[in-house]
Amino acid sequence: MADPRPTSSADRVLRAAARVFGRAGYSGATLAAVAREAGVSQGLLRRRFDSKAELLLSAQRATFRQLHQRIIERARHGERGIDSALDALDGMWGSVRELRAGAPFLVELLSLADRDDPTGERLRAFFHESTTLLEDGIRHTFADDLGALALPPGRMAVVIRVLLQGLVIELARARTPEDFAAIDQSYSDMRELFRRFVVAKDVEPLPAAEPIPLPW
């Protein structure tokens, strides 16, 4: 699978892919449209990405890496705690919301994670990497309050990923402005719960435990 990091042209392609998929959805997007949007040749695009599925997954992976880097840089500059965490959460939701037209395909793609083929392997690698990046971001963001977190960072990362995937499923079913407004409200509610309960200084944190296996 192509690594999105080595060149600026690859970065342009991934940013363009997110915009094109967001506008046209998976079925309406084409590699030619992404190439035009990025200002690169179709030949270059096809040498880096074998299919639209790989390109979409790579765009999501690049977004998570960029968000993780942003979290780390802010933590290094002393921007830690709940406000920084909420900013990162908003960034993740924003990247999901931008791809709303591609949500039905994302749901279909998520269902392939248990397949014993290259697509399944790539999806499992994406889930592992995104969860690991989330956990690392939580550790940096709450470096001063790790002992007060309501959940250990690894388990909190899984919860956040699962909740965001649930919102993707809701986006895939949305059809009307009212549907999208209800999903945005669900995210706002999730954000508020996170704000109130992520740091539970007056509540004894849950004991450490082995991660619960998930079906993907």
How do residues 1-56 score in pLDDT, each as one tens digit?
444 444 577 788 888 887 887 777 777 888 899 999 999 998 888 888 888 878 87
Q: Which residue has the higher pLDDT, 213 or 20?
A: 20
* For residues 104-130, average pLDDT: 79
Q: Which residue has the higher pLDDT, 114 or 163?
A: 163
Per-residue pLDDT at 176: 92
Per-residue pLDDT at 6: 42
pLDDT in tens, 154-207: 999 999 988 988 998 898 888 899 999 999 999 999 999 999 989 865 445 445
* For residues 209-215, average pLDDT: 50
Per-residue pLDDT at 35: 92
Per-residue pLDDT at 187: 95
d(CA 213, CA 161): 14
pLDDT in tens, 47-103: 888 888 788 788 778 878 888 898 899 888 899 999 999 998 998 898 778 767 667
Per-residue pLDDT at 190: 94
Count of alpha carbons within 13 Å of 117, Cβ hemisphere only? 4
For the cut 60, the answer to whether the pLDDT of residue 149 exceeds it is yes
Nearest CA to 164 out of 144, 187, 185, 184 is that of 187
Count of alpha carbons within 13 Å of 5, Cβ hemisphere only? 5
Per-residue pLDDT at 203: 47
* Position 214 confidence tier, pLDDT thresholds 50, 70, 90: very low
Is the pTM for the entire model greater than 0.85? no
d(CA 54, CA 120): 11
Query: Is the sign of the CA dihedral 135, 140, 146, 150 positive or negative?
Result: negative
Residue written as tokens 């959805």?
25
d(CA 53, CA 210): 33
Side chain identity, residue 95: S
